[in-house]
Structure 1
Amino acid sequence: MTAQVETALRGPEAYALAHRVIDSMQQASVWPTPLNYELWLHYVSDPDSPLSREMQRLLAGDTPFTEATAEMLAAEFLPRGRLSEEIRDVGAVLNRELAAVAEAIDNARQTQAAYGETLTSASEKMQGAEGTTDLSAIVSTLSSATRRVQHHTSTLEKRLESSNREVLRLREHLEQVRRDAMTDALTNLANRKTFDEQLARLCEEAETDGKGLTLALVDIDHFKRFNDTWGHQTGDQVLRYVASVLGRIARDPRVAARYGGEEFAVIFPGETRGTVEAALNAIREEIASRSLRRRSTNDDLGAVTISVGFAERHVGETALSVLERADAALYVSKRSGRNCVTDAESMAQAAA
């Protein structure tokens, strides 16, 4: 899902957008299936996108909008659809390779069996052979059978060598597909699904080994203003800039992710409040220290600032609970004037 669509869904106009999507689908006589709804969500919220232009072309004709049409559009324009298509392609190639190897092995097995029968027959004939002519014929038969075995063995070796290269190539491709499935395409940070999985896993590990874990949520201040003033491409530039700073400072074992829209998340495994707060303030100060310029026109965009809320995990606390406390701290940062870092624990102590 594009940053523009995510931003629209997380803003005050989200419900109005949902109504427009349903109304548009009804006008087109299209059933509101999950896939159709996702396509129409892009169509309504981002009318200038390649997907929207293709949908406009299809809807302008007399061809009905079928499930096959929806799947075709998803495969071409939606990241998840393209990913599924890639996985299917890799699976098809791998199946063909396995079938070819199985055929080569079966041919070699049949040739070996035939060779064994030839040897048995030759042994019986040699026992009753009378003279050089009979022996010469037997030797000729054995030589021919041996050449056939050598040929099939050589063919099998070449087929296995070729398949080994193809399997290695497929393995590399699948690894790239796996990385793509875990990564946000715009920012190259971990995506929301990866973040959710990592947070759950790291919370379980923290509970087991007794080490600390701190979670931070980061929100770009006044991000809608960048989009409204300069356009969504400039908004994407701002997202990539913030992500680059987060990604550099939040290196392994820390986990930086795009949480949704203009919001990011950083997991600090084994780190406590003091260390994390210093790191978050360093991120905040570095982001604000640079004045961005619009790439297409070199216009001055001004400084970008972020608001941050973070929470250190308590013993026995779930991932969802840590997330909720960090989100509450982020809300306090935004309500307190933005461009600041709020600690959920300090916030709770102040309220006590």
Structure 2
Amino acid sequence: MTTQVETALRGPEAFAMARKALIDMEAAGVWPTPLNFELWLHYIGDPEGPLGKEMSRLLASSDPFTEGTSEMLAAEYLPRGRLSDEIRDVGAVLNRELSSMSDAIAHAKKSQAAYGVTLADASASIEKVAQPEDLREVVSGLSDATTRIQKENSALESRLDASTKEVARLREHLEQVRRDAMTDALTNLANRKAFDEELLRACEVADANKSTVCLAVLDIDHFKRFNDTWGHQTGDQVLRYVASVIGRVAKSPRVAARYGGEEFAIIFANESTAMVEVALNRIRQEIGARSLRRRSTNDDLGAVTISAGLAQRHPGESGSSLLDRADGALYVSKRNGRNLVTNAENVAEAA
């Protein structure tokens, strides 16, 4: 989903949007399939966006809103649809390229086999040569065959070189598609999918190496107030600012992600809880030290603060359990006045 729609669906208007989507779909005679429901949420959440305008046009035309129409809109305007199309397109080109390379290699093998037969025949003919003219004919035949095989080998080398470059280009394109699929479009941090995969991998590595993993969950304090007061565009500005600070502090090998809405997460491998607390407090202090201004009007937005919770993984603990404990520590920070960092171990000891 677009960031604007995603943010709206995490706010108080989410249920109203969902109800309106179902009512409008029923009025338009459109079945509430998961794909149609997602399209209508985009339509209602961002009616002036590209998808919203196209849906308005289609609905105004009174043409039937078929399954094919839905798939066309999803492929054109929904990020996942475009991603699937890109992967399919690259896969098709790659298959053609590999098929062409296979045909070229098969042809080269046949040419080499034929050349081998020519050499064998020449060898047998030389043994039977009685006159110089006969020898010249054999040598001429060998020369012609050698010239042909050299040309074919040269053509094969050129074809394989071109194919190798094309495959390398496709590989890089697929890698870019993979990076895009793992990146949050608004903040350029890792997205939820990338975070889930990286957390699983970090837990597996920790078990294999008997090493540690710490997880931190961060949340923007009173974020709803920014959206309600200044609108979603200003809310997006706040999200980008917070993400930029998190990204600077949580550089590789740390993994920073936008976990959802105004919530972020950071994975720390082989770092003590003391080191993690220092990093989180650095993020918290840097974010809170700056007074933001609204770009469109230069209005003073005031300072933004964040709350954070962290937990160190227990041996053999699942990623979901670790996330739950870090999330619990985050809510302790919220209950204790916000703009705080709380260690889950301290919460457990206090209990």
Same fold (TM over 0.5): yes
The answer for unaligned runs of 5 or more in structure 1 is none
Note the C-alpha offset of 1:43.
1.4
Partner of 1:340: 340
Aligned to 2:49: 49
CA gap of 1:208–1:126, structure 2 versus 1, over 3 A, is closer
Contact 2:7 2:232 in 1 (8 A): no
Aligned residues: 351
Cα displacement (A) at 1:179: 1.5
d(CA) in 1 for partners of 2:49, 2:334: 32
122-131 or 312-321, which moves further after superposition? 122-131
State the 1:293 CA deviation. 2.1
Cα distance in 2 for partners of 1:205, 1:101 equals: 39
- Listed as ranges, the gaps of 5+ residues in structure 2 are none
8 Å contact from structure 2 (residues 226, 235) kept in 1: yes
Whole-angstrom CA distance in 1 between matches of 2:83 and 2:250:
27
Residue 247 of structure 1 deviates from its aligned partner by 0.8
Contact 2:11–2:224 (Cα < 8 Å) also in 1: no
Distance 1:124 1:147 in 2: 21
**2:256 matched to which residue of 1?**
256
Aligned 8 A contact 1:101 1:163 in 2:
yes
Q: Deviations over 1:178-199 (max 9, x none)?
A: 2112211111111101111222
Aligned partner of 2:274 in structure 1 is 274
Q: After superposition, where does 1:127-138 map in structure 2 within 5 Å?
A: 127-138=127-138
Q: Cα distance, 1:136 vs. partner?
A: 3.0
C-alpha separation in 2, matches of 1:317 and 1:126: 79
Matched-pair contact (CA < 8 Å) for 2:187–2:258: yes
Give the alignment of 1:214-233 within 5 angstroms. 214-233=214-233
Q: Partner amino acid for 1:164?
A: T
RMSD: 2.1
**How far, CA to CA, are the matches of 2:133 and 2:282 in structure 1?**
94
Query: Match of 1:116?
Result: 116
Show the counterpart of 1:197.
197
Give the drift of 1:129: 4.2
Check conservation: 1:190, 1:258, Cα contact below 8 A: yes
Equivalence for 1:242: 242
Deviation at 1:128, TM superposition (A): 4.1
Please give the alpha-carbon distance, in whole angstroms, between the structure 1 residues aligned to 2:117 and 2:273. Answer: 78
Q: Determine helix, strand or coil for the equivalent of 1:339.
A: coil
TM-score normalized with structure 1 length: 0.91
Secondary structure of 2:71's match?
Answer: helix
Q: Counterparts of 1:119 and 1:340 in 2: how far apart (Å)?
A: 84
The equivalent residue for 2:96 is: 96
Residues 4 and 261 in structure 1, CA contact (< 8 A), matched pair in contact too: no
Q: What letter is aligned with 1:78? A: L
Corresponding residue number in structure 1 for 2:22: 22
1:303 maps to 303
Q: State the shift of 1:217 in Å.
A: 1.3
For 1:314 and 1:129, how far apart are their aligned partners in 2? 86
Counterpart in the other structure of 2:331: 331
**Cα distance in 1 between the residues matched to 2:48 and 2:9:** 18
Q: Kindly report which structure 2 residues correspond to 1:160-179, keeping only aligned pairs within 5 A, or say none.
A: 160-179=160-179
- Corresponding residue number in structure 2 for 1:69: 69
1:349 equivalent in structure 2: 349
Aligned-pair CA distance for 1:236: 1.6
**What corresponds to 2:60 in structure 1?**
60
Q: Which amino acid aligns with 1:25?
A: M
Q: Are the equivalent residues in 1 in contact too, given 2:329–2:347 (CA < 8 A)?
A: yes
Structure 2 counterpart SS, 1:265: strand
Q: Compared with structure 1, are the counterparts of its residues 201 and 121 closer, same or farther at alpha carbon in structure 2 (3 Å cutoff)?
A: closer
Q: Name the CA distance, whole Å, in 2 between partners of 1:187 and 1:23.
A: 33
8 Å CA contact 1:184–1:258 kept in 2: the answer is yes
Aligned to 1:11, the other structure's residue is in SS state coil
| In structure 2, distance between residues paired with 1:60 and 1:51 | 14
SS at match of 1:62: coil
Quickly say closer, same or farther: Cα 1:63–1:309, change in 2 above 3 A.
same
Q: Which residue of 1 aligns with 2:81?
A: 81
* 8 Å Cα contact 1:107-1:152 kept in structure 2: no
Distance 1:114 1:201, change over 3 A: closer
**Residue type of the partner of 2:294?**
R
Answer yes or no: is the 8 Å Cα contact 1:104–1:155 preserved in 2: no
Residue 105 of structure 1 pairs with residue 95 of structure 2: no
SS of residue in 1 equivalent to 2:203: helix
Query: Does the aligned pair in 1 maintain the 2:192–2:258 contact within 8 Å?
Result: yes
Identity over aligned residues, as a percent?
68
Taking structure 1 as reference, are residues 112 and 317 closer, same or farther at Cα in structure 2, changes over 3 Å only?
closer
After TM superposition, give the deviation of residue 319 of structure 1 in Å: 1.7
The change in CA–CA distance for 1:53 and 1:139 in structure 2 (over 3 A counts) is same
Shift of 1:53: 1.2
